[in-house]
Chain A
Amino acid sequence: MNRRKLENQSGKFLLLVLALGISLCPLPGAATEFVLLFSNDNHGEIEPCG
């Protein structure tokens, strides 16, 4: 394998590592959409009687 081909392949590998790194690292402070399901004051209720 000649030197030029080797350089080309290692460059591609470096690019792949960089792309993976960018896609896996979360951006600090990015926006998020989410659903918050909440409850309170169940007051010991398991199921209404009757």
Chain B
Amino acid sequence: MGGLSRKAYMIKQVESEVDKPVLRLDAGALFFERPGVPDALLEARTIQARGISRAMQAMQYAAIGTAPHDLAAGLEFLHRQSREFSLPLLSANLRNQEGTSPFPASLLTKIGETSVAIIGLTGESAPNEADRRSGEYRLLSWEEVLPDTLQDVAKHAEMIILLSSYPEKINRVIAGRFPDIHLIIQSGASPAGKAPEIVGNTLITQVAARGKYLGRLDIDWKKSRRWGQEQGGHAKLRQARDELDRINWRLGRLEKRWPNKEELALINEYQTLRKDQQRLTMQIAELEAAPRDEEEELSSFRAVFIPLQVALTEDPEVQKIVIQTKQEINQAGKKRLSDAAQQPEQPVRKGRGMSGWQECGACHIEQTAFWQESRHAGAWQTLVRARQQFNQECLRCHVTLPSYDQEVVHSENLLAEVTPDLQQVGCEACHGPGEQHVANPERTHFPPVTARICLNCHTPEHDNDFDFERKTRIIRCPPMVKNKGAA
């Protein structure tokens, strides 16, 4: 699931279906996976970030929040991207070394007849990640900047939207203190999606991470500038009418069963229902007679998180950018590997106690023959065909690595560590490193193969309907009978 070209397609699809204005916003944490990038991965990651910048330019977002993730390659890099690709990055509290704002605090736009102000607010990253760029920029606190920023925009705007990378608990405090902020879209600090929730008079929401969903809010914004979703008199009136309908239906059933009205009047259930009927009839009359002006002015929304499924059509313009970016990443990885091989002080070595499938095959003949027919054996070749075998981001799930070991998987030198005999998802990818077992076959301390191991790679974005029980029945090697004592 996910991908920028599917997002671009879905944006165009929605725009072609509706006859209302469409506003496109991104709350940030857009360009990088984490707020820091290891030096060895900087080139590949910045190529990726440039590709994302080009795609965002093509998708014509109205505003983009700036999260600590976006500063992973430095403020100067982000600033260059924003200028080169005309990215509307916002941050009210980010300051450069000179103490000035690199990006505007807010922007004002017109949606239909309504003036909408959008404010960006950059959250704080973990101290160890911020240390890498210490001195390059600093962040003012939200308490310092929001009062003045809001005062500036409130004069002109009828709706105020905040793109915030602060954690949700801070955003809830902001919502409580500044009811003039009508909508907060979160990013960065909270990885999971958040269904829209009204806190005071602020709607807070966030879609799940890694670009798997596109959030859609159909907003009916009234001049009261207040949300009324399921809270106002309209909702009460609807509930009362629904309850009255149910009671009338039950009364009707009793009246059919007891045609004699005198007998019917003596039944307890009938008496209770009649009382409820009277109560609800009066309540409905009161609600209908109540002043409606204020109620009718309440704003409302409908929300849906659109999954960007693999089967979705891809937007050709953005797809072209994605393909080109992936090729550039692969070329950069290839060059890096070639440079590393030419430096004798950085020898290419077999990584982390792995032996390679040929060593396993020397004893486990039947199991190896079975595995060679599996898709795991050809995993590297799928990358070669896609020209992505030097893309470290893809590499980790197409080679023999102990995928449960995060230190190995996120190694900066992964490209150099994966020698040709590890270029497939071999035995040790599931069973763990076998070097010690090869040296001494009596040592068989292999961890059990659990779903957790598979799920490191068979994530929803790569394998939407992964079922551990079903897949292990297909992939499980034949049991060892004759070659007892070996793994």
Residues of A within 8 A of B (CB): 26-27, 29-50
Contact = CB atoms under 8 A, between A and B. Distances in A.
B210 A42 contact: yes
Nearest to A29: B223
B92 interface: no
B223 A31 contact: yes
Contact of A31 (B4, B5, B23, B222): B222
Contact of B23 (A37, A39, A43, A45): A37
Contact of A38 (B27, B34, B394): B27
B20 A35 contact: yes
B27 A40 contact: yes
Interface stretch (B44-52, B132-140, B468-476): B44-52
B26 interface: yes
A31 B296 CA distance: 11
17 contacts: A29-B223, A30-B112, A32-B21, A32-B112, A34-B22, A34-B114, A35-B23, A35-B217, A36-B25, A37-B25, A38-B25, A40-B26, A40-B187, A43-B34, A46-B4, A48-B2, A49-B398
A15 B37 CA distance: 66
Contacts of B438: none
A47 B112 CA distance: 34
B63 to A, nearest CB: 10
B382 interface: yes
B26 A36 contact: no
Given A41-B208, A46-B48, 11 more contacts: A32-B113, A32-B219, A32-B221, A36-B23, A38-B215, A39-B207, A41-B206, A45-B4, A46-B52, A46-B55, A48-B310
B113 A26 contact: yes
A48 B462 contact: yes
Contacts of A47: 2-5, 322, 326
Contact of B217 (A30, A36, A40, A48): A36
B207 A38 contact: yes
B33 to A, nearest CB: 5
Nearest to A41: B209
A44 B392 CA distance: 14
A1 B311 CA distance: 73
Nearest to A37: B24
A30 B213 CA distance: 32
A41 B52 CA distance: 13
Among A26, A29, A44, the one with the most B-chain Cβ atoms within 10 Å of its Cβ is A44
Interface in B1-31: 1-5, 7, 11, 14, 18, 20-31
B21 A30 contact: no
A36 B31 CA distance: 21
B332 to A, nearest CB: 14
Closest 9 A-B residue pairs measured CB to CB?
Answer: A49-B394, A40-B27, A40-B187, A32-B112, A29-B223, A32-B114, A41-B209, A30-B113, A47-B3
Contacts of A34: 20-23, 111-112, 114, 219, 221
A42 B2 CA distance: 9
B28 A46 contact: no
B32 interface: yes
Interface string B160-198: 000000000000000000000001011110010000000
Contacts of A26: 113
A48 B5 CA distance: 11
B397 interface: yes
B405 interface: no
